[in-house]
Structure 1
């Protein structure tokens, strides 16, 4: 498993968390509240999110053999669509 984490500075973290969760809820297994959520992707990847007043924390787990860079890009592009008023946001993946 490959683990990538990022802290994304934004005052709208809860809104973006909920929008992303709702957006993918028709295709994937999604559980969320305004403060945290998880999205289980086909193929075994999982995105865990936590929102506070200053940032959106992302934890992306990708199985061996899957492209973790591509999964990070997919997550970024979707969140940036919701954050078009302030985006693109800064993702400091580690």
Structure 2
């Protein structure tokens, strides 16, 4: 499994976490784990969204052989589109 982590500054982290997993509701089950919203896709990807005061921590994991950077980019594009009015930006940590 390959994991990429990042953060997104926002005053409404819970809203964007809920909106993203709702948008992808048919991809796989969603659960709450240790304060994070976790979605495990049927195809093996895992999305972890952890709200904090002023930010949303984003973690994406893909099975070996999948392109983690591509999946991370898809997640980034969706979150930024949902928060276009707030000019959101997901920053991936290297």
TM-score by length of 1: 0.85
- Unaligned runs of at least 5 residues, structure 1: none
Distance in 2 between residues matched to 1:42 and 1:93, nearest whole Å? 26
Distance in 1 between residues matched to 2:8 and 2:85, nearest whole Å? 15
Aligned to 2:29: 29
Q: CA RMSD of the aligned region, Å?
A: 1.8
Shift of 1:32: 4.5
- Unaligned runs of at least 5 residues, structure 2: none
Which runs of 4 or more aligned residues in structure 1 lie more than 3 Å from their structure 2 counterparts after TM superposition? Answer: none
Aligned to 2:63: 63
Matches for 1:49-88 after TM superposition, within 5 Å:
49-88=49-88
TM-score by length of 2: 0.85
Q: Does the CA contact (< 8 Å) of 2:9 and 2:88 recur in 1? A: no
